[in-house]
A and B are shown apart, each in its own frame.
Chain A
Amino acid sequence: MTNILDVQALKTEFRRKNTLIRAVNNISFTIKKGSVLSIVGESGSGKSVTMHSVLRLIPSTGKIVAEKINFMGRDLMRLTEKEMRKIRGDQISMIFQDPMSSLNPTIKIGRQISEVLLWHHKANPKEAKERTIRMLHEVGIASPIERYNQYPFEFSGGMRQRVMIAMALIGEPRLLIADEPTTSLDVTVQAQILALIKKMQEQNKMSVVLITHNLAVATMMADEMIVMYAGQIVEQATKAEFLNRASHPYTVALLGSTPKLNMKERLQSIPGQPPDLKNINLEGCPFVDRCSAKMERCSREEPPAVQLSPTHRIRCWLYT
């Protein structure tokens, strides 16, 4: 299988006054055509910034450096802003975390969805409207014709997230980035939304990057997994390897802090706080302060990438 996206040595930094924040610190990964990649990690671990960097959608205080970001044979780093705009929404689209604030409150739902087709000159207004209504129907919104002319405030959270999905899918993108698509929804709606994304992914044969801090959601959807910590990828593996042979102490701890049914013992948590990216220790391993298996060299030397299998890579001194 070929890769749809190949990111090499991506760094994203934000400069605020005199401090440099390394939100994404030298990461590389690939996504195979038609597969689902889940990126997991705590808040602030750089999951979202990574994917926003791929689309070059970060605030102006940020700076993206990468060896290459190869998408379907083109290096996104070398495209002009105008060329990049043609990719956004058309080739790569995004579902955002908060459906309540992601829709423009003063523009009708139908208009906001059909804009994708209109802006990319993929349909005339009449066709765009028809396709939007069909899309609304497809994402499970009842009476789409009336809904087309309604405003976001007339939709519930789950319905708005369906609108966001319709918006992301109507351009038939090759790659869908779903940034915490279910975080702000209640559990029953969560399952519906995820099933919808999965269905659309299979139907359109598109690739999906699912950003989440919910391990259950991540493993349910994914073919491959990436675990991020403090702007770095600490472990990447196939879903089976992740579930059966999770190796990095952080991943192990994450899995240990997931509640299970019929659990008798107290839920474990990872001691300490995620590191402050402003004064992160660049010498050693970023996880060293919270690691249960730390060794002396961990705080002095940066752990190397260790290949446990052709598809399983980890950054930890334990496995050298």
Chain B
Amino acid sequence: MWRYILKRIGFIVIALFFVSLITFILIKSAPGNYIETERLITQNLTDVNVPPDVKEAWEKMYHLDKPEWQQFLIFLGNAVKFQFGPSFKYPTKTVENIIVETYPVSLTLAGLAMLLAIVIGIPLGILSAFYKDTLIDRIAIFLSMIGTSIPNYVMAVFLIYILALTLHLVPSIGWGQPVNYVLPVLSLAIGPIGSITRFMRSSLIETLNQEYIKVARAKGGGFIQVVIQHGVRNSLIPLMTVIGPQLAYLSVGTLFVENLFNIPGLGKFYSSAAVYRDYPMVMGTTLFFAGIVMFVNLLVDIVYGLLDPRIRKLDMNRS
């Protein structure tokens, strides 16, 4: 087990190296730089010409005067210590401080959305599987298809229109009150609801066709005993592999929704960093997100092993 985990961590480190390298090359080859972009966007000036001495001083401050391979090495050396230096746009804060401050916001959004998706998706999937090929099933499939195919930012606009502008149930904008969570969480949850429902359905249908389900029925089990205790239980383990990475992707993928609702989460900083050519910010956040996704995947695989008695017992016997 430990060998396996160490090996996986090794792969993660290698993968993160390549993620940094590719991001570095991409961002460096994108035209423009921060001080020019900043002039255009923030100061609304039409010429991009920065006084040469200003530009030189600025480049020196961020080591941008050095050859690019040296810049990359400096970045790597600091990244190992989880230091990405001050952001261009927010020079008073380091990138790692911004991450630590804003990621919890994104994670909370994603976590709530995931929770909602689990609470709705699992029962919906169970119903759908149990009433396979009936009207209930068709409706559930239709809803989950809508959920998975409509992007969350489109859903967000739709929800704003219905819940905020037409029904006046919630404010369309603002942050800080619990009620402000409603729209973003709903729009983020739609996709996972769809995928959890579909996964639960297909996984449970497969389980319900197993011989041991028939055995459970022959023992006199009803819906609770057969479908929930014998069926769903076995479908929940593979569902883990869907929920874990989904949560990671979701916490990374909140950027559209954060921008739309003006929520100070990491996604908002992430997307604006790319626009402003805020190199440290882009590098730091990309690496952080990539790391999160990979780490959660590893975690899911470990937990999966712990949940499956076949793997768990074998491992205990070996050690």
Residues of A participating in the B interface, judged by any CB pair closer than 8 Å: 55, 57, 82, 85-90, 93-94, 96, 98, 101-107, 115-116, 119-120, 151, 153-154, 164, 167
Within 8 Å by CB of B220, from A104, A107, A120, A151, lies: A120
Chain B residues whose C-beta falls within 8 Å of the C-beta of A153 in the assembled complex: 309-310, 313
Q: How far is the CA of A96 from the CA of B210 in the complex (A)?
A: 12
Chain A residues whose C-beta falls within 8 Å of the C-beta of B237 in the assembled complex: 106
Instruction: Decide: A93 and B218 in contact? CB cutoff 8 A.
Output: yes
Residues of B participating in the A interface, judged by any CB pair closer than 8 Å: 210-212, 214-222, 225, 230, 233-234, 237, 308-310, 313
Instruction: Decide: B219 and A151 in contact? CB cutoff 8 A.
Output: no
Instruction: Decide: A106 and B308 in contact? CB cutoff 8 A.
Output: yes
* A/B pair count, beta carbons within 8 Å: 74
Q: How far is the CB of B208 from chain A (nearest CB, A)?
A: 10
User: Are A106 and B234 also in contact (CB < 8 A) when A57-B214, A115-B225, A151-B309 are?
Assistant: yes
Q: How far is the CA of A85 from the CA of B313 in the complex (A)?
A: 34
Q: How far is the CA of A96 from the CA of B217 in the complex (A)?
A: 12
Chain B residues whose C-beta falls within 8 Å of the C-beta of A167 in the assembled complex: 215, 219
Instruction: Decide: A116 and B313 in contact? CB cutoff 8 A.
Output: no
Q: How far is the CB of A81 from chain B (nearest CB, A)?
A: 8
For A101, give the chain B residue with the smallest CB separation: B211
Within 8 Å by CB of B217, from A57, A105, A116, A164, lies: A57
For B221, give the chain A residue with the smallest CB separation: A119
User: Are A115 and B221 also in contact (CB < 8 A) when A107-B233, A151-B313 are?
Assistant: yes
Decide if the interface of chain B is mainly helix, strand, loop or mixed: helix
Instruction: Decide: A119 and B234 in contact? CB cutoff 8 A.
Output: no
Within 8 Å by CB of B219, from A89, A98, A105, lies: A89
Chain A residues whose C-beta falls within 8 Å of the C-beta of B212 in the assembled complex: 101-105
Q: How far is the CA of A57 from the CA of B219 in the complex (A)?
A: 11
For B214, give the chain A residue with the smallest CB separation: A57
Instruction: Decide: A89 and B220 in contact? CB cutoff 8 A.
Output: yes
Instruction: Decide: A151 and B310 in contact? CB cutoff 8 A.
Output: yes
Chain B residues whose C-beta falls within 8 Å of the C-beta of A82 in the assembled complex: 222
Instruction: Decide: A85 and B211 in contact? CB cutoff 8 A.
Output: no
Q: How far is the CB of A101 from chain B (nearest CB, A)?
A: 4
Chain A residues whose C-beta falls within 8 Å of the C-beta of B216 in the assembled complex: 104, 115
Instruction: Decide: B310 and A105 in contact? CB cutoff 8 A.
Output: yes
Instruction: Decide: A104 and B219 in contact? CB cutoff 8 A.
Output: no
Chain B residues whose C-beta falls within 8 Å of the C-beta of A116 in the assembled complex: 219-220
Q: How far is the CA of A101 from the CA of B234 in the complex (A)?
A: 14
Which of B215, B218, B222 has the most chain A CB atoms closer than 10 A to its own CB?
A: B218
Q: How far is the CA of A116 from the CA of B219 in the complex (A)?
A: 6
Q: How far is the CB of B209 from chain A (nearest CB, A)?
A: 9
Instruction: Decide: A85 and B310 in contact? CB cutoff 8 A.
Output: no
Chain A residues whose C-beta falls within 8 Å of the C-beta of B230 in the assembled complex: 104, 107
Instruction: Decide: A90 and B220 in contact? CB cutoff 8 A.
Output: yes
